Amino acid sequence: MLKLFFRNRKGNAELIGALIALPVLISLSLNPILMFLDLQKYSRLDEIAKAYIIKMETTGGLTPEDYGNLLNDLAGTGFDISQVKIDYTPYPVEFGEEVALKITVPLTMKRIVLIKAGGLSNDTIQATIGPYVSVSKKNLE
């Protein structure tokens, strides 16, 4: 039975060539998808920060209630709240003064790497959004 398998050497060479090319094709097709997913997560984080800087403009700083909602939004996006760092201007801020928001989160990026054993690379970076700075439009009087 084994002799029949190795009789056609041309077929074996094609099979071996396909097995060598398969990991390259998989990495070339899946890495852009993984990069797009990372970009979507970063973009969602940016959208959250922009929405909250607008809230801070209108309310005169980040209220404790809005801070809790911000944490809930970040958790809903999939970020680990225990590792999130938020620098913000707390409520109250007088009309015409600056309000600022900066969010730093660890972002894990997955890539398929042919050289590395196991083939999957997990790199964690500190993604920073902001600081977004605006002017308070809330008159506290």
- Tens of pLDDT, residue by residue over 11-64, are 677 777 777 777 777 777 888 888 899 999 999 999 999 999 999 999 999 999
Q: Is residue 5 part of a domain?
A: no
- Residue 130 in any domain: the answer is yes
Residue 66: inside a domain: yes
Parent domain of 118:
10-136
Q: Does the residue 2 lie in any domain?
A: no
Residues near 112 by beta carbon (within 8 Å), at least 6 away in sequence: 26, 27, 30, 31, 34, 119, 120, 121
Asked if residue 3 is part of any domain, the answer here is: no
Q: What angle do CA 119, 121, 126 make, to 5 degrees?
A: 175
Number of domains observed in the structure of the chain: 1
What pTM was estimated for this model as a whole?
A: 0.76
